[in-house]
Amino acid sequence: MAHEFTTSYIEEALATLRQYKKMAEGAMSQVSDDQLFATLDAEMNSIAVIVKHMTGNMRSRFTDFLTTDGEKPDRNRDSEFTEPPATRQALLERWEEGWKIVFSAVEPLSDADLSRKITIRGELHSVMQAINRQVVHYAGHVGQIIFLAKHLAGTNWKSLTVPKNRSEDFNRRVLQGEATQR
């Protein structure tokens, strides 16, 4: 996923978070409004519910990131899995608000902040551990969003990375300097 060589953990974490955000948005753009709210079975979450959960987590973890526990007392995690916003527009507004909170918390940090101590659910974490925890969490949910969107889009699905059965062509173009990864 590296697009630019860096030895800065913060720069890499931000690039990774932005890549996951972009991939989820690419997946969500390929499904209809109704499909955002569709579930494959009674035990599954819809894309909209996953987004609602992610944004609830973002607000809780990254609001006052360095000074308050990452599990805010007003968070009701269970409610994140019910009644998502009713429209694509409302859902995407919530999505943008969540990511704004994340980036507003992480962008001002420097690598010198990585060893600072914060808490999540009363457990001590370094800033680096806390960011890693969230990158992994969001990556898992972005994978769910992509899986659901790909299933729902069916044959209309457009690859978010290297298209199926196109690896050799892509690799040739990379070696010739013609292609860049998204």
Question: What integer best gives the mean pLDDT of the chain?
Answer: 92
Average of per-residue pLDDT across 90-108: 98
Tokens of 72: 């805010």
Q: What is the pLDDT of residues 116-160, one digit of tens each?
A: 999 999 999 999 999 999 999 999 999 999 999 999 999 999 999
Residue 162 is predicted with a pLDDT of: 73
Residue 171 is predicted with a pLDDT of: 59
Written as one string, the DSSP assignment of the chain is --SS----HHHHHHHHHHHHHHHHHHHHTTS-HHHHT--SSTTPPPHHHHHHHHHHHHHHHHTTTTTS-SS-TT--GGGGGS---SSHHHHHHHHHHHHHHHHHHHTT--GGGGG-EEEETTEEEEHHHHHHHHHHHHHHHHHHHHHHHHHHHGGG---SSSPTT-HHHHHHHHHTT-----
Residue 182 is predicted with a pLDDT of: 43
Query: Helices 47-62 and 9-28: crossing angle, nearest 10°?
Result: 160
Q: List the domains of the chain with CATH numbers.
A: 9-175 (1.20.120.450)
Write down the pTM of the prediction: 0.88
